[in-house]
Every structure is written in C-alpha cells, then in structure tokens.
Structure 1
Amino acid sequence: MIRGRLPSEDIGTEVLISETFDRSRVAPLRHAVAARAGAAGLTGDRLDDFVVAVNELLTNAVRHGGGTGHLTLWCEACAVTCEVVDSGAGVGQLREEKPAPDEPGGWGLYLVRELTDTFAIKSGPEGTAVRISSRVTG
C-alpha cells in the first residue's frame, strides 16, 4: 500500500470520465466505468474486479466521505486508472491484514487492494483520495 501524496501531474492524456457524484449517480457511474474501462482494454475477470473496486470507492465516498465525491478515470499506456476524491473527515489507520470473517466492517478498502494492481491513498481532515489501477493484458 502506498500512502502520501497522489500526484495529479501524472494523469494520462486520455481522460475517459471526470464526474462529480452523489448517491443518485453511483449506479450510472459504475455502468459508465464498466463501459469505458472495457473499451480501454480491460476484459473478463480483470474488468469485473476493477468495477467492483470502483464501486467500493464510490459507496465509501457517499457513506463515509461527506455524501459526494469526484471520480476521474483515465487510460495510460498499459493500465486503466481511477481516482475517487471525497471531502469527508478522512479515514483512520488502515489495516494491512484481511478482516476477520465475522467483522461487520473494514472489508471495502481491503477488497479494493486485492482486486486491483495498484492502490494509493491520501487521507486527512480535508478528505480522502484513493487511486487504483489495473493493467490491460494482451
């Protein structure tokens, strides 16, 4: 896991989606991410895993991050990358290990880390930014 600054200057030149969202936009935005990530070359289980990870980030922003957020999706040479930013109070210490099966929470970001190739987070009182990517194969 990477913590710290998420540089904005490394966003690829092909931005596929840049949209502010709230609860009402989660499902339509998830469908748009699936379509655009698929068109950019993610397929099969890699596409499904990426969409599940993005959905976790969207719902976390709505539930825990102030009710709204901003998603940016872009394509780089060999990967599809997504960043979700919210303005909530920030997340506490993240655990590296898998949550216990009977734990009611803590699974979202764990799943995001497991389902994608890269995971970076910056969080503080001003909000949270999470960036993930999955390599395009083939």
Structure 2
Amino acid sequence: MTDDGHLRPEAVAPAAGPPLLVETFARGQVTDLRHSFAACAEAAGLRDQRLDDFVLAVNELITNAVRHGGGAGRLRLWRVGATLVCEVSDGGGGIGAERLASNERPTPDTAGGWGLWLAGQLSDSMVVTSGPAGTTVEITTALDGAGRVADPAGAGERAE
C-alpha cells in the first residue's frame, strides 16, 4: 500500500488458484496478448459469445493501460471454480474519482470513456482500484454463463 492508502498494482493480493496467464505488455503487444488471452480463456472452458465478450472486455482494459496508464501494464488470468478472473494493472496516474463514480453509458458523441464502461458491461463483475501509483481492474465471467441475466428491456444480457 502507498502512503495515500491506495493499492499499487504490484501490491494486490495474490490470486487464488494457479495463474493461467501472466504477462507484462507494452504498446505494440496488445494484439498478440489478446490472441494469447483468448486461447487461454477458451482452454479454460469459456465458449461462444461469452468468450467473445470477455476477450473484448480485456482488450479494452489492456488498450486503456497503454493509452492512459503509462504505456505498459500487467495481465493476470486465473480460474476460481467455474469463474474466470482477469486482472489488468498499470502504473499510470490513476482514474479520477468522478469518472470512477459514474456507471452511465457514455453519450454517442463522446470520444473517450467507452473502454471501462464496455468492460463492465461485458463481464459479470468489475472492481477498479485506482490512485496516483496506478490502476488495477479485476473482471470476472462465469464459465457456465450463470453470472448474467436477461435484460428486461430486451437489449441482450447485463452483468448482475
């Protein structure tokens, strides 16, 4: 922990279960990492639309790390029972409190702000820890699809 009470990405508690993938990355490695991540998630049992959604969510997080988080980051993927957990961390300056407090969909004319929102929509849960030493985002998805419920408005699925 830093003196300001925020967790540094490298100070996050170790994941339960053996890691399926642990990679550091920088600009120019996003595409290769996305392919490695997709192969690991599929080998762990994630399939079909849930696989596509989780890969897209992680792609948004790693892209944010290189664009807004200092140009590099670290990805960890592990399985806890029937759940896949992915953590993406960076050493950037953090995300502002106002941005973190908003769960609203960005307006269509907004140039930025879609990545974090989209990652939250495409995963079953999302926890963001951010401060001056960096940001860590942890997202989960149930391998059996039990973590999602139908959207009552009929717009697809939503995280519960």
Same fold (TM over 0.5): yes
Listed as ranges, the matches of 1:70-81 within 5 Å are 70-81=74-85
Deviation at 1:12, TM superposition (A): 2.4
Q: Percent identity?
A: 51
SS in 1 for 2:29: helix
Classify the secondary structure of the residue corresponding to 1:59. Answer: helix
Shift of 1:16: 0.8
Give a deviation string over 1:94-129, Cα, whole Å, max 9, x none. 211111111111111110000000100000100000
Number of residue pairs matched by the alignment: 134
Q: Whole-Å Cα distance in 2 between the matches of residues 85 and 98 of structure 1?
A: 23
Tell me, yes or no, if structure 1 residue 42 matches structure 2 residue 46.
Answer: yes
- Counting only pairs closer than 5 Å after superposition, residues 1-138 of structure 1 correspond to structure 2 as 8-9=13-14, 11-92=15-96, 93=98, 94=100, 95-137=102-144
- Measured against aligned partners, the alpha-carbon deviations of 1:69-118 in whole angstroms (never above 9, x if no partner) come to 01111111011111011000001122111111111111111100000001
Distance 1:14 1:40 in 2: 12
SS at the partner of 2:24?
Answer: strand
Q: Which runs of 4+ in 1 moved over 6 A?
A: none
Uncovered stretches (5+) of structure 2, i.e. residues with no partner: 1-5, 146-160
1:70–1:86 CA contact under 8 A, matched in 2: yes
For structure 1, the residue ranges without an aligned partner over 5 or more in a row are none
Q: TM-score normalized by structure 2?
A: 0.79
Q: Which has the larger radius of gyration?
A: 2
What's the Cα RMSD here? 1.6
Task: Tell me which of the two structures has the higher relative contact order, counting C-alpha pairs closer than 8 angstroms and 6 or more residues apart.
Answer: 1
Partners of 1:71 and 1:80 in 2: CA distance: 13
- Using structure 1 for the length normalisation, give the TM-score: 0.91
Paired amino acid for 1:89: G
Displacement of 1:13? 1.6
